[in-house]
Structure 1
Amino acid sequence: MSALARLLDVRPGPTDGSWIGPASGPDGKRAFGGQFMAQSLAAATRTVEAGKLPTSMHLQFLRGGEAGAEVDYAVERVYDGRTASARRVEASQDGRLLTTASVSFSVPLAGPEHGVVEVLPQDPDALARTGPVGPAPSMPLDEIDIRVVDDRSAGEFVRRLWWRVEVPLPEDPLLHDVVAAYVCDVYMIDPALRVHGHSMTARTHRSGTTDSSIWFHRRIRADRWNLLETRSPAAARGRAVITGSLFGADGAVAATLVQEGLVAER
């Protein structure tokens, strides 16, 4: 099993509805927010009947976590209907509540479809491999190809983050959704700083994600190229919002993402 698959593979805990997420390491470092997004989603999916896929997830970050420690997840079965289900997930370490999330599931239903672009803005294979835009000590970067392009050509700051997993993944669509929740969280708050000429790496501001949401529209293939295109439409009172669209290799919007983050002067 690859390092990424091990990290996102939660195991049953001691009580009904409890799950344990592996530590991401290294000790003494703050846990990456995408770990909580992905492991919370993974725990929720283990409690839903086959055929129901994630439609939305909303997670609130309450406290920072320890990267070197396992995470306890408690899943509450909020609702189970014929076509839809809902779960509430709480993550904690040593009894300290870190995150709380709500996850919705549904069986695929027939309906109108839109959200496809004819041509994606770049050929990712022609771009230099960059990795994330900042330190990421817990991410298995030898298994995830990340290429970042920042664009101001239209006057607005736009970040285009191309990514794909380079290790074999099972066909299970739930796993690919979990991987997307993990990767797409990486420094998504940074565009709010870039608008003003700052960055996460410069450490000029206190910054970090406070809320993260994702809506799943179409099947995600984590082992093929995906494009996360993000921008920050507003920031005030020490908070900023970032919106993103996740495109698959076919140009279809596979997911929509929104984050709120702390962006405050030190």
Structure 2
Amino acid sequence: MNNIHELIDLLQLERLSDSVFLGQNYQAPWKRVFGGQVLAQSLSAAQQTVDPERVAHSMHAYFLLAGDINIPIVFEVEKIRDGGSFSTRRVVAKQNGIAIFFMSISFQKKQEGFDHQIDMPKVAGPENLPSDLDTVKKFKLFVPDHIFQVIQERPFEFRMVEQINLLDFKTKLPFRNFWFKANQTFDGDINIHQRLMTYVSDYNLLTTATLPHTKGPLPNKDLFMASLDHGMWFHRDFKIDDWLLYAMDSPSASNARGFTRGNIFNKEGILVASVVQEGLMRPKS
């Protein structure tokens, strides 16, 4: 799925009733439902049940079970509250009637208020950085076929600030920065841009917590990882077909869990979103 329009269609969902939606699955090479997909589809379902003037500003989700890639997902939206300025929704994603995921989302009318933000990290811009596809092509003999396929099929372009050397087997500090954008321009309102950012927010996040503990730039086949929860805040409007910087770090890993967080800036240095995630991270038995 290397076409952004295919991803937009995947995230739109089929409406079965006023509050129930059906979503199909990206046929990922790793044979499990991609976490970013179910996050973005849940947001899409909730967005379609609120007043168009209200825009998502925060979400909190828990992954309960690994999704079966061969079974469509049913998204049931519960309308918790519609207040004067905010609306709250709860989405449960199910396969075969069993909950695999749930998310709470809050929506808000546009309002004036105070404004401040942290500074964007001082890093190289995307213009002269190689894409991750360029990098894996350079080291193709050392890259497993399924990883090469994943990178080749992504509907986003990624450019890592900290350059990857597939022959470097040293552990690293738990920090990572990369630029990303949709690989094609498109027309769409803020809801579509939010769905796409939610989808891509799951890329490279949990693996940041593995950097001090695993040797080599590729995921360690002896390490088991699974997302447990995911939180996201949309601070300001953005366009995902323009370059965005994802600045990530992992403050802690303990009790077989890795904790990561990220800030997303546009090219002008405006903070547009923030993300946190915790995941299971332990050696395979």
2:135 is the counterpart of 1:135: no
2:126 is the counterpart of 1:124: yes
Give the Cα separation in 2 of the matches to 1:28 and 1:265.
18
Aligned-pair Cα RMSD in Å: 2.4
2:169 is the counterpart of 1:157: no
1:186-211 Cα offsets, whole Å, 9 max, x none, are 13100110122346622232111100
Gaps of 5+ in 2: 137-145, 164-171
TM-score, normalised with respect to structure 2: 0.84
Give the Cα separation in 2 of the matches to 1:140 and 1:46.
31
Q: How much does 1:16 deviate?
A: 3.0
Give the Cα separation in 1 of the matches to 2:241 and 2:65.
32
Q: How much does 1:136 deviate?
A: 8.3
Q: Residue 9 of structure 1 aligns with which residue?
A: 12
Q: Residue 203 of structure 1 aligns with which residue?
A: 221
Q: Residue 259 of structure 2 aligns with which residue?
A: 241
The 1:136/1:64 distance shift into structure 2, 3 A limit, reads farther
Contact 1:31 1:66 in 2 (8 A): yes
Give the Cα separation in 2 of the matches to 1:108 and 1:216.
12
Q: Residue 213 of structure 1 aligns with which residue?
A: 231
The 1:139/1:169 distance shift into structure 2, 3 A limit, reads farther
Contact 1:189 1:242 in 2 (8 A): yes
Give the Cα separation in 1 of the matches to 2:42 and 2:253.
28
Q: Residue 46 of structure 1 aligns with which residue?
A: 48
Q: How much does 1:142 deviate?
A: 5.3
**Identity between Structure 1 and Structure 2 (%):** 29
Gaps of 5+ in 1: none
Q: Which amino acid aligns with 1:2?
A: H
Q: Which amino acid aligns with 1:24?
A: Y
Q: Residue 78 of structure 2 aligns with which residue?
A: 76
Mean CA deviation greater in 42-51 or 169-178: 169-178
Contact 1:32 1:138 in 2 (8 A): no
Q: Residue 193 of structure 2 aligns with which residue?
A: 176
Q: How much does 1:28 deviate?
A: 7.7
Q: How much does 1:27 deviate?
A: 8.2
The 1:181/1:11 distance shift into structure 2, 3 A limit, reads same
Contact 1:27 1:68 in 2 (8 A): no
Q: How much does 1:233 deviate?
A: 0.2
* Residue aligned with 1:8, SS: helix
Give the Cα separation in 2 of the matches to 1:94 and 1:138.
27
Q: Residue 227 of structure 1 aligns with which residue?
A: 245
Q: How much does 1:226 deviate?
A: 0.7
Question: Which residues in structure 2 correspond to 1:28-47 (within 5 Å)?
Answer: 29-47=31-49
Contact 2:121 2:247 in 1 (8 A): no
1:100-133 Cα offsets, whole Å, 9 max, x none, are 0000000121111111537751111211110599
Q: How much does 1:24 deviate?
A: 0.9
Contact 1:228 1:245 in 2 (8 A): yes
Give the Cα separation in 2 of the matches to 1:20 and 1:6.
12
Candidates 156, 170, 176, aligned match of 1:144:
156
Give the Cα separation in 1 of the matches to 2:68 and 2:192.
24
Give the Cα separation in 2 of the matches to 1:210 and 1:227.
24
Give the Cα separation in 2 of the matches to 1:11 and 1:202.
37
Contact 1:24 1:69 in 2 (8 A): no
Give the Cα separation in 1 of the matches to 2:76 and 2:154.
31
The 1:246/1:44 distance shift into structure 2, 3 A limit, reads same
TM-score, normalised with respect to structure 1: 0.90
More helix by share: 2
Candidates 100, 103, 109, aligned match of 2:102:
100
Q: How much does 1:93 deviate?
A: 1.4
Give the Cα separation in 2 of the matches to 1:195 and 1:56.
30
Q: Which amino acid aligns with 1:21?
A: G
Q: How much does 1:242 deviate?
A: 0.1
